Amino acid sequence: MPEHREAAAGYHRYHIPTQPAPDIEKWPSRFKVKVRRSGLAKLLIKEVFHYRGRKDVILSRPCMYGVFSGPVGGFMPREEHCVGCLRCTTEFPEFVRIEHNPERRSLGDSYFTFNYVDQIAYEASSGLVPVRGAGYRGKFGGEGWDGMWTDMSEIVRPTRDGIHGRETISTVVDIGFTPNYLEFDPSGQPTGSTPHYLSIQLPIVLDAPQTELAAGVARIYARTAAELDTLVVLPFEYTTGLGEFGDAIVPVVRPEHARRLGQLGFTPRIIEMQGWDEALYAAITTAFPLAIVALRTGFEETDALVSYAQRGIKVFHLLADYHGRSADGGFVLDLIRGAHTAFVDAGIREEVTLLGSGGMIAAEHMPKAMICGLDAVAVDTPLLVALQARFGGECSARGASSFRLPTDLNEAWGVQRLKNLCASWRDQLLEILGAMGLREVRRLRGEMGRAMFMKTLEADAFAGLLGYTEASNG
Amino acid sequence: MANIAGKTDEQLIVEKHIANFHKGFAYWPRAEEAPPALGDSRWTQDLILATWLMAETGQVPDNGLEYKIGASGGGFDVLDFNIPSQDQWLPADTEIDLSLPLNRRDDGAQLKINIPMYGGGMSYGSISEHVMQARARAAQHLGTFTSTGEGGYPPSLVPYKDHIITQVATGMFGVREETIQYAPIVEFKYAQGAKPGLGGHLLGDKATDVVAAMRESVPWVSLFSPFPFHSVYSVEDHRKHVDWIRTTNPRALVSVKVSTPTDVDMVAVGSYFAGAHIVHLDGSYGGTGAAPEIAKKNIAMPIEFAIPKVHKYLVSENVREEVTLMASGGVRTAYDVAKAIALGADGCVMGTAELIAIGCTRCSNCERGRGCPFGLTTTDPLLQQLMPADWGQQRIVNMYNAYAIQLRDLLRKLGLKSIRELRGRRDLLRYVG
């Protein structure tokens, strides 16, 4: 077979295989179904006479979802089936009451609210894009991610068609260094800097907690990353025994690891330094000369990022806390824009890769973060939620948050949950890209002109109205 | 005791549940406490219950229900009217005109609607035929229009064709020569607010035999309409679309339904120059029978921001008086309609409000399995009987009657004799956010 045919035959379109992975730990139902038994009994007696014993009519229930289809019907409702349609309480207001379940609403914390938990649980269990009827139900806009909308193209768009199986939209991103331009000597050989990067198939990197919690998830994360052809960021200590997934693992090292780098059971393609340390950087480049060295640091360091780039760092993994805040209180959306702009202003944005973590907890946050300037999102808490971790109170600080993983967490289930989540997020990213008319996700990065911000839109629309001032929208 | 002799079990089951529904729709708006799980930020408990009450009585609620705004914290919910002192109000017996001409160009029929609202597209398959009939009959009664949506034109709607807009969407379902010729208005759906940049979605469970037959598709297979029109990549291509409709039905007005991207103003002007009589903006918080959640919230701008942007641009291009600008996508109340017009629209296109009038609780399960448990967004043979068309028609008419009362009252207090005088009167609005 000719070489080009062979290459063509070897082509496969990137696809994440999904399959149902139901919850292993029972979560509280969404709704509480309260039926006053005396009222139900009276109704049944009345209907027995009214319909003269015609059983099918008497037992015709107001629920299509099986809440009253147990052996004793409404006397013991099956709350886990309730979808909150309210048909029963509409038909029988005198003795049926549907309430939101406060236990369900207590899942997550003040930032990772139960709505996000619900969404992640659905995505991780099904691998599907959440599709529902009726329009948007939430607040108008708001702060942070909620105050940002992405653009769409109406008609003038010959590049559309990426979703629903017709044409490919690429979600490949490159992690590493690419020079602004190439230089060649007279013989045509490249001189100076040459590209040094690797490509991953989707702009999602798995970011494990840098705490002991990583011990319980490291293998699940590593296998998932390897199967997805992406990367997982793991604490150095928890990479032991994961050599088979070495190409996918990004070990996080601190100065105390400098002398133990040789203990890694594999040669990493990327290695992440926890904070800038000159000696550690030298040790890494000596031990792994071909590895890409990334700097893991807080968004507070934005002012210093360009100088780190000049010292050799070309990949930056920028961290906000789990609620998307930096130490000085900035929100991750603005922090990303700040970091991106710093490199644009320095004229080297194309040379570096920006990863970000913290506060990006829903599928829509990924394209928004990329529009603001990230190359890829290093997802953190959503992975734990996909594994049905329960929050122990407020979980914002990276080192001091408490999550409880299910006791019967197992690798096969965990991997499938994470793959499902990533598949769902990728498909939702395709929806956004398709709507914008973009055929590859790399074009999304920093495309601020394809975003709309509530502050700007509201000022444009409402400026001049009595009572409206710039301060009105913050 | 009711007469049950001679009735089948199915008839009795349908009658039983209908009676229960009607009892509940009347009970809850008057109850001391609302159903705890009802409502959300956009459609609050009060808005839903007030709409049920208006649909029952045809009057403005007077029992304390908040019927003007929701609790979304933005958009229409942070706008109010500057009502002048009472001595500047028009006399109570002043005739207030709510009619709206839809054709401001020299060509085509000079259509006028009696209220500044008409019904938005809801496709056969996404809603039941009974709901389509109810909406069509209500439109006829009110002297306005309703739209087929993209799922085809059921023969039972033909008697009301003078009040039905035929929608031509990217799936082209049910688009035939006769359905174009029936139509006083043909609407191109380029995009939909709830899922901008995506095509229509009808999930497999709802693509029943009859729905598939109407759409000339395969039963039980999900239908994702393409996006965009593959024959339209420019304003010039769009012009060819308009010519195609004009060739088939020279008297039809052409409406162009678009979503709200950053360049929505350019899109609107382009649509006008391609020959549209009506530019219909569908904002990002609009209704749908099924849409990805990510699209509902995150793509394209809300209608409150798009209207003034487009209005101003049409004015600056000196074409504002030649095109009718209709707005939809999160327009929930008579006051939302008035605010949209004050921001620059000529009128509004209503969808979800009509469904709520006939019993929707906005539970968001429209797409699931057999569809709506109230018989609205379903084509299940049993379920769709739960919403009889004649009852639905009256509920929708009543709701619009209550809206008309509110609009006339508001205009009188603002010193305006016609809804047309309200257009673009931003000076009558105030920001209360």
- Give residue B148's pLDDT band: very low, low, confident or very high (50, 70, 90): very high
Which residues of chain A lie closer than 8 angstroms to B287, CB-CB?
134-135
Q: Does residue B10 register a pLDDT over 50? A: yes
Please provide the average confidence, as pLDDT, over all residues in chain B: 94
Do B311 and B198 share a structural domain?
yes
* Helices A411-436 & A365-372 angle (0-180, nearest 10): 60
Which residues of chain A lie closer than 8 angstroms to B308, CB-CB?
460-461
Interchain CB distance below 8 Å, B369 and A51:
no
Q: Cis ω on the peptide bond leading into residue B228 (within 30° of 0)?
A: yes
Predicted pLDDT of residue A157: 54
Residue at a domain's end among B81, B108, B141: B81
Which residues of chain A lie closer than 8 angstroms to B228, CB-CB?
153-155, 157, 160
How many pairs of residues across A and B have Cβ atoms under 8 Å apart? 289
Q: Is A128 on the interface with B (CB under 8 A)?
A: no
Do B251 and B301 share a structural domain?
yes
Give per-residue pLDDT as tens, B125-139.
Answer: 999 999 999 999 999
Predicted pLDDT of residue B228: 79
Do B276 and B151 share a structural domain?
yes
Q: Is A142 on the interface with B (CB under 8 A)?
A: yes
Which residues of chain A lie closer than 8 angstroms to B171, CB-CB?
none
Residue A256 Cα to chain centre, angstroms: 31
Closest by Cα among A98, A104, A102 to A35: A98
Could you say which of A149, A449, A461 has the minimum Cβ distance to residue B309?
A461
Interchain CB distance below 8 Å, B35 and A153:
no
Find residues 63-122 of chain A whose CB sits inside 8 Å of chain B.
Answer: 63-65, 83-87, 89-93, 97-100, 119
* Helices B264-273 & B235-248 angle (0-180, nearest 10): 40
Q: Is A161 on the interface with B (CB under 8 A)?
A: yes
pLDDT less than 50: residues of chain A: 156, 158-165
Residue at a domain's end among B81, B110, B141: B81
Domain boundaries, position B13: 9-31+38-81
Do B189 and B307 share a structural domain?
yes
Strands A353-357 and A390-391, how do they pair?
A: unpaired
Q: Is A42 on the interface with B (CB under 8 A)?
A: no
- Determine the average pLDDT of the residues in B158-183: 94
Determine, yes or no, domain membership for B89. no
Which residues of chain B lie closer than 8 angstroms to A160, CB-CB?
227-228
**What chain B residue is nearest to A368 in terms of C-alpha separation?**
B298
Determine, yes or no, domain membership for B94. no
- Give residue B205's pLDDT band: very low, low, confident or very high (50, 70, 90): confident
CATH architecture of A173-456: Alpha-Beta Barrel (3.20)
Predicted pLDDT of residue A160: 47
Predicted pLDDT of residue A158: 43
Do B184 and B261 share a structural domain?
yes
Interchain CB distance below 8 Å, A152 and B259:
yes
Interchain CB distance below 8 Å, A153 and B284:
no
- CA–CA gap between residue B358 and residue B231 (Å, rounded): 38
Do B146 and B20 share a structural domain?
no
Do B188 and B133 share a structural domain?
yes
Determine, yes or no, domain membership for B4. no
Higher pLDDT residue, B200 or A232? A232
Predicted pLDDT of residue A33: 98
Number of domains in chain B: 2
Which residues of chain A lie closer than 8 angstroms to B73, CB-CB?
139-142
Give per-residue pLDDT as tens, A221-276.
Answer: 999 999 999 999 999 999 999 999 999 999 999 999 999 999 999 999 999 999 99
Do B27 and B136 share a structural domain?
no
Determine, yes or no, domain membership for B321. yes
Do B416 and B272 share a structural domain?
yes
Burial class (CB in 10 A: 0-12, 13-18, 19+), A201: middle
Could you say which of B31, B359, B370 has the minimum Cβ distance to residue A64?
B370
Interchain CB distance below 8 Å, A432 and B373:
no
Q: Evaluate whether B378 touches B206 at the Cβ level (below 8 Å).
A: yes
For residue B32, the SS3 value is coil
Predicted pLDDT of residue A472: 63
Give per-residue pLDDT as tens, B32-46.
Answer: 999 999 999 999 999
- Give residue B199's pLDDT band: very low, low, confident or very high (50, 70, 90): confident
Give per-residue pLDDT as tens, B369-404.
Answer: 778 999 999 988 999 999 999 999 999 999 999 999
Lowest mean pLDDT among A372-376, B150-154, B417-421: B150-154
Predicted pLDDT of residue A471: 62
Give per-residue pLDDT as tens, B346-377.
Answer: 999 999 999 999 999 999 999 877 789 999 99
The complex scores an ipTM of 0.94
Interchain CB distance below 8 Å, B198 and A435:
yes
- CA–CA gap between residue B165 and residue B136 (Å, rounded): 10
Determine, yes or no, domain membership for B2. no
Lowest mean pLDDT among A176-190, A300-314, B213-227, B325-339: B213-227
Determine, yes or no, domain membership for B25. yes
Spell out the domain ranges in chain A.
Answer: 31-104, 173-456
- CA–CA gap between residue A35 and residue A39 (Å, rounded): 8
Which residues of chain B lie closer than 8 angstroms to A96, CB-CB?
none
Do B112 and B58 share a structural domain?
no
Determine, yes or no, domain membership for B251. yes
Do B411 and B372 share a structural domain?
yes
Do B155 and B50 share a structural domain?
no
The CB-side HSE value for B213 (13 A sphere, CA atoms) comes to: 6
How far does the CA of residue B189 sit from the closest CA of chain A (Å)?
10
Interchain CB distance below 8 Å, A85 and B374:
yes
Lowest mean pLDDT among B71-85, B200-214, B326-340: B200-214
Domain harbouring B262, CATH code:
3.20.20.70
Interchain CB distance below 8 Å, B20 and A137:
no
How far does the CA of residue A355 sit from the closest CA of chain B (Å)?
22
- Determine the average pLDDT of the residues in B165-193: 93
Interchain CB distance below 8 Å, A452 and B426:
no
How far does the CA of residue A431 sit from the closest CA of chain B (Å)?
7
Closest by Cα among A372, A453, A153 to B260: A153
Mutate to test the interface with B, among A104, A154, A361, A470 (most CBs of B within 10 A): A154
